[in-house]
Structure formats: structure tokens, C-alpha cells
């Protein structure tokens, strides 16, 4: 019997650390390319989840879907029903910072958002969603060891992809925000709420304000450095 409406894995099927790309096909690619003996453990709504081993340690990978609400559902269930301790988002981001280039990496120290996700917690102020420092430090060390181009700082987790104000991103760039994606803020808040660990690692897939972008095929398969960094961080 499924433990939740969105996941038909059984208790114990997930490792303590889960890599979480947005795209189900990217989850499949990661499992089949990087993990030894990957086993499909859930596939409801074609949101694939796998568990295998990487360099001797047990690791899971599961898609989150797109947006704060979707990753909010899957991270909540992994943390609360499957005893997962850490989730590492491996995704794509659009660059705001002028020094970022295609395939560079952002390690999300924090996540700004225009989402109303935090309202559920009824906090008497504004919550600042941040990554787990231990995971972040490991990711930085892995980037240095691999010679990866990376920046550490704020992400913008937007609930809007097609923004009615196409120039809004410039306001975030003025505040030093590095790039835009759609999931890190909800992941960080959910992890904070339940005393768990989370980190978002994003590869630059397009440069906001220009026509530079990667193809969907590249986004699915070519983010090798980011994936290897995340796997080295998984505990």
C-alpha cells in the first residue's frame, strides 16, 4: 500500500540522501548513468524515484516536478514519511549575474522568492530560507577539487515563469541575486520546518536578458559536473 498519494515506495526504499532534479527524465538519466544497481522504487504520475549506490554509499534520486508547490509536496513526504535526512536539488537556473556563463554552477546559499509558501507557517515576520551549511561547504570543496566554475549566493525561486513584467529580473540583480529558478525556497523552508538538511545546486541553462540558452536535451544529459558534485555531497 502506498504511504502517500504521490509516492508508492515502501518504508526504507529511499536512502538518507536524495538528489532531486525537476525533470523525471533527468532523474532516470542520473540513476542509470551514475548509480550502481539502480532500482525504480516509485513512478506515480511518471515522477520517477530510484535508489542505488554511488562509490559504495546508498543514494536515491527522485524528480520534484516544476515549482515551489511541487517540490514542497515531494520534499515534505520524503522528510516525514520516508526518513530522508537531506535533499540536494540538482536543477537549472537562468543567470542574472553578468559574470555567469552557460553551464556555470550556482550553489544556493539562500533563496529569495515571490511565493506565498511561507504564509502557512504564520511567522511574525519574513523568513529567510537558507541552505544547510555543511552540505554547502562540501559542495564548494567539490567544485574546487573539480575545477568547476561556480558562484555561491542568493537564488530567486519564482512562482512565475512567463512574467508579465519582463524587466522585473533587473530588480533582483541589483540586490546581488545570482539567478532564477523555481524550487529552492520551498525546499529550504520545508527542510527548516522539519529539522532536515537541504541544498540547491543549479547549472546555468540560459542567460536572462539575452538569447543564450541550452537545449532541452543538454539540460537533461549534459549537467555532468553538477551531478557529480551533488553525489559527492550526499551523505
Residues 212, 206: contact at Cβ < 8 Å?
Answer: yes
Nearest to 4 by CA among 41, 44, 40: 44
Residues 194, 218: contact at Cβ < 8 Å?
Answer: no
* Residue 90, strand partner residues: 201
What gap in Å lies between CA 61 and CA 35, rounded to an integer? Answer: 9
Neighbour tally for 202: CB within 10 Å: 26
- In three-state secondary structure terms, 231 is helix
What are the angstrom distances between the C-alpha of 234 and each of 2, 78, 84? 26, 15, 11
Residues 172, 156: contact at Cβ < 8 Å?
Answer: yes
Residues 215, 103: contact at Cβ < 8 Å?
Answer: no
Element (H, E) at 22: none
Catalytic residue among 23, 104, 132, 206: 206
Please say if 206 is a catalytic residue.
yes
Catalytic residues: 206
Amino acid at each position: 500500500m502506498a504511504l502517500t498519494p504521490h509516492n508508492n515506495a515502501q518504508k526504507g526504499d529511499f536512502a538518507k540522501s536524495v538528489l532531486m532534479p525537476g525533470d523525471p527524465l533527468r532523474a532516470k538519466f542520473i540513476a542509470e548513468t551514475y548509480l550502481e544497481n539502480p532500482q525504480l522504487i516509485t513512478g506515480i504520475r511518471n515522477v520517477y524515484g530510484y535508489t542505488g549506490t554511488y562509490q559504495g554509499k546508498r543514494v536515491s534520486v527522485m524528480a520534484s516536478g516544476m515549482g515551489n508547490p511541487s517540490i514542497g509536496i515531494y520534499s515534505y513526504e520524503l522528510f516525514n514519511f520516508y526518513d530522508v535526512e537531506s535533499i540536494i536539488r540538482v536543477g537549472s537556473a537562468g543567470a542574472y549575474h553578468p559574470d555567469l556563463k552557460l553551464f556555470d554552477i550556482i550553489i544556493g546559499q539562500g533563496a529569495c522568492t515571490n511565493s506565498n509558501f511561507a504564509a502557512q507557517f504564520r511567522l511574525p515576520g519574513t523568513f529567510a530560507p537558507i541552505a544547510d551549511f555543511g552540505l554547502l561547504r562540501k559542495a564548494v570543496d567539490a567544485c574546487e577539487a573539480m575545477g568547476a566554475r561556480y558562484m555561491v549566493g542568493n537564488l530567486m525561486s519564482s512562482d512565475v515563469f512567463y512574467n508579465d513584467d519582463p524587466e522585473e529580473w533587473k530588480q533582483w540583480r541589483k540586490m546581488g541575486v545570482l539567478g532564477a529558478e523555481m524550487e529552492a525556497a520551498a525546499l529550504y523552508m520545508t527542510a527548516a520546518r522539519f529539522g532536515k538538511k537541504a541544498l540547491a545546486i543549479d547549472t546555468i541553462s540560459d542567460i536572462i536578458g539575452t538569447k543564450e540558452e541550452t537545449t532541452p536535451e543538454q539540460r537533461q544529459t549534459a549537467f555532468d559536473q553538477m551531478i557529480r558534485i551533488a553525489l559527492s555531497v550526499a551523505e
